[in-house]
Amino acid sequence: MATVFNTPTFKHGLSLWCPQSPSLNHRIAPSTCSPPIMIGGFRRRSHVHVAASSDFANENREFVIVGGGNAAGYAARSFVEHGMADGKLCIVCKEGVPPYERPALTKGYLFPLDKKPARLPGFHTCVGTGGERQTPEWYKEKGIEMLYEDPVTGLDIQNQTLTTYSGKHLKYGSLVIATGATASRFPESIGGKLPGIYYIRDVADADSLISSLERAKKVVVIGGGYIGMEVAAAAAGWKLDTTVIFPENHFLSRLFTPSLAKRYEDFYQENGVKLLKGALVKNIEAGPDGHVAAVKLQDGTTIEADTIVVGIGAKPAVSPFEALGLNTNVGGIQVDGLFRTRVPGIFAVGDVAAFPLKMYDRIARVEHVDHARKSAQHCVKALLSAHTHIYDYLPHFYSRVFEYEGSPRKIWWQFYGDNAVGETVEVGNFDPKIATFWIESGKLKGVLLESGSPEEFQLLPRLARSQPLVDKHKLQNASSVEEALQIAQSSLNAQAATV
């Protein structure tokens, strides 16, 4: 999943660091009279009491990370790099394995079994950026306490204490919230919980889907974004009857232009994937055995299916941290440029953080592994050192599909910058490569490249961050992607020469 959510321009320099805020000097852990808290599918009542020091399950741990995704793994590595992990760091998560590179779950993990699919421990963090693989043994060697399958259910700010599902009390000096996002689901009333429906957020979800794909004949993927496109490509590798249903007019409408999307749509259809665009799901129907049998659309059309994968977005996993201050426009926990919440000593990173996007002067929440990695590293550096540089993130998204052995073509694209502005110029014919440039007031604001060389991909972030003035007509008349990139490179060089 890769998504960026934005709020209007942040004009007045609001500080999110408010140590004296009286409204937050209270207990958030639920009382015995309050309704049970729901988190990660668990239901539990938390008893209110101030734990004695002997009650703490993480005694002598100064730092606590809540969450087990990419952000948690990269934060852990940063603590180690600063020499502040051994005997001082505890990670509490709801999964039974340490953090891993989650993008693999809808890519290599779903490859057919005869085509070398990805498996743990092969993609534990931080191999995604060339770092050491952080297996369970790595955490033990580094002196990091791991609490598995025990999500946090309560937070007591006044006493700096967390409560977990099993009833453990965790004391913290500094707390990093890296809970990520949870999959958006169809309501049970329209069949959203029937056997045979799959939502992919963790390795257990992916394992269940693989078991179904081994027996499947007809697969329906609901959603035309990252998850939908990646799962459909994998299902095509299994040579299954695959249909993608989505309400938008084209693939990945948050990023792709209609013209670019058509190139991908044509390729999917050439590889046997059927597309139903502009289609709305009415309900999911079960067969006599109670298992999914079909998807019924609002227009009355019925699509048979024995396996359904739903990829219709995600929601930031903020429970039970709502009282830290949520952003009502983009969701997530509001933080400043150092990922500090308005409560001293509590930070939020990755998908769950609503942060100032400095480049474009607005508040955003980004659901993508690149931001998860970088925000975690920036936060820990600020927490443990005199580092005070505001996070200056350049939005970056990518996807890889059809990469399994025997695929007619492996597809990999990367995007950097801003696609919410200006007009676009498209260069190339998709085969062998294509590029799209976003231009506003003559400035290059964003660029997407399909099937580029390593050197070409390395140029993209430099272009998007520098935003050079480019000649739109020269780009439009470029005979190839290579020529268009040379034009952009020349504009970048000319800008640098004037500085």
Pair 91, 160 in one domain:
yes
Confirm whether 393 is domain-assigned. Answer: no
Confirm whether 396 is domain-assigned. Answer: no
Structurally, how many domains does the chain consist of?
3
Pair 15, 154 in one domain:
yes
Pair 57, 206 in one domain:
no
Pair 353, 273 in one domain:
no
Range of the domain at 472: 410-498
Pair 294, 348 in one domain:
no
Pair 332, 298 in one domain:
no
Q: Which of 74-88, 134-148, 398-412 has the lowest mean pLDDT?
A: 398-412
Pair 16, 101 in one domain:
yes
CATH number for the domain that contains residue 450: 3.30.390.30
Pair 430, 473 in one domain:
yes
Q: What is the mean pLDDT of residues 291-312?
A: 98
Confirm whether 148 is domain-assigned. Answer: yes
Pair 92, 237 in one domain:
no
CATH number for the domain that contains residue 322: 3.50.50.60
Pair 306, 319 in one domain:
no
Pair 43, 123 in one domain:
yes
pLDDT digits (tens, 9 = 90+) for 152-180: 999 999 999 999 999 999 999 999 999 99
Confirm whether 391 is domain-assigned. Answer: no
Pair 376, 422 in one domain:
no
Instruction: Name which residue leads in pLDDT, 256 or 35.
Output: 256
> In angstroms, what CA-CA distances link 20 with 15, 17, 116?
12, 9, 55
In this predicted structure, the answer to whether residue 240 has a pLDDT above a threshold of 90 is yes
pLDDT of residue 6: 67
